[in-house]
Amino acid sequence: MARHDFEPGRLVIGLVLLGGGLAYLAAADGRWHLPSYLLLPVLAGGFCLAGLVSSLTFSVRRRRARLTDRDGRPERLG
């Protein structure tokens, strides 16, 4: 099986959707009162957070790739 790169943005989006689903289920069961107008902004904020994490991950990986030479050794700075 081929190994895949770790994607922190996908982890964040999964946790946001899981939390939203659990909040909706808790409200439907009557254990927790969730205002209906609150869930959409929270999910949108979670999507924005996942996008930020994904862009940071991309920039860090691109910088690391630029700092390594063709042999896989880190390039000396200076």
pLDDT values of the chain reduced to their tens digit, one per residue, 78 residues: 678 888 999 999 999 999 989 988 988 888 888 787 888 899 899 999 999 999 999 999 888 888 876 656 666 665
pTM exceeds cut of 0.85: no
DSSP per residue over 1-30, as a string?
-------HHHHHHHHHHHHHHHHHHHHHHT
- pLDDT computed for residue 74 by the predictor: 63
Q: How many CB atoms lie within 10 A of CB 39?
A: 14
C-alpha–C-alpha distance, residues 27 and 60, integer Å: 39
C-alpha–C-alpha distance, residues 10 and 18, integer Å: 12
- pLDDT computed for residue 61 by the predictor: 87
DSSP per residue over 45-67, as a string?
HHHHHHHHHHHHHHHHHHHHHHH
- pLDDT computed for residue 54 by the predictor: 94
